[in-house]
Amino acid sequence: MIEAGFRTAGGAAMAVALLCVITVLYAGYNLFIKASGGHVPEAATTTLLATLCVQVFALVSSLMFFVFLSVQGGHSFRLSQPAYVYAAAAGLCIGAAEIGYFYLFGGVGAIKPMAANVAIPAIVTGTIVITMIVAHLAFREGLTGWQVGGALLVLAGIAMLYLGGRASPAEPV
């Protein structure tokens, strides 16, 4: 089983490798959303179909992994009701975020397209700070002075991105 490796001595290295793969995939996700948004025709009034395309292909990749695990055997797919409720809430959040992403990068309506080198780092690092705070308050996870200091540096970095990143997406910075 795939997850069994994370509980062994070599599991830490596997976890770090998986972390790196996920980071690269999320970077690809962000950059492909930006690239797609750059091809929205001026006459378009919504980018909803692009968002649905992302969701369909996310479902396809999940189904492919489900089939892989099913063929591999030895996996239990049964989850608790709260696991499904929280997964559904996460789906609502990512769906709404994707809609916003396409509007942000596509420049639909009165929204001016935002440069990827400003928006993506601000969103990703802002997510880190929000997650850290909510994890501390809601899940009672520890919070050290180093983490608070890091969060403050992240917030300063976001401010610097906005103050120094006023170039339009088509202009070099």
- Residue 11: its pLDDT value, please? 78
| Same domain (yes/no): 153, 92 | no
d(CA 96, CA 83): 20
pLDDT given for residue 172 in this prediction: 38
Please indicate, yes or no, whether residues 63 and 5 belong to a single structural domain of this protein: yes
Are 7 and 52 in a shared domain? Answer: yes
User: How far separated are the first and last CA of the chain, in Å rounded?
Assistant: 47
Average pLDDT of the residues in 156-161: 88
CA 65 to chain centre: 19
Asked whether the whole model's pTM tops 0.85, one would answer no
Instruction: Indicate whether 85 and 141 sit together in one domain.
Output: no
SS3 (DSSP) at 141: coil
Same domain, yes or no: 5 and 72: yes
Q: What is the dihedral angle through the alpha carbons of 26, 107, 119, 54, rounded to the nearest 10 degrees?
A: -10
Q: Assess whether 133 and 78 both reside in one domain.
A: no
How far apart are the C-alpha atoms of 114 and 100, rounded to whole Å?
A: 12
Give me the pLDDT at residue 84, please. Answer: 96
How many separate domains does the chain show? 2
Q: Are residues 96 and 81 in the same domain?
A: yes
The pLDDT value recorded for residue 173 is 35
Q: What is the pLDDT of residue 165?
A: 58
The pLDDT of 14-35, averaged and rounded, is: 90
Phi-psi region of 73 (alpha: psi -120 to 50; beta: other; left: phi over 0): left
Contact status, residue 115 vs residue 173, Cβ threshold 8 Å: yes
Contact between residue 169 and residue 116 where contact means Cβ atoms under 8 Å apart: yes
Which residue range forms the structural domain that includes residue 52?
Answer: 1-113
Residues 40 and 94 grouped into a single domain: yes
Domain termination residue (choose one: 113, 141, 165): 113
Q: What is the pLDDT of residues 59-94, one digit of tens each?
A: 999 999 999 999 999 999 999 999 999 999 999 999
For residue 53, the SS3 value is helix
Q: Indicate the residue among 93, 113, 133 that finishes a domain.
A: 113
Whether residues 119 and 91 share a domain: the answer is: no
Taking the C-alpha atoms of residue 44 and residue 139, their distance in angstroms, rounded to an integer, is 42
Task: Inform me whether the pLDDT recorded for 40 exceeds 70.
Answer: yes
4 touches 75 (CB < 8 A):
no
Task: Tell me, yes or no, whether 96 and 119 share the same domain.
Answer: no
Final residue before a domain boundary, out of 113, 135, 153: 113
Together in a domain, 88 and 160: no
Could you tell me if 120 and 72 lie in one domain? no
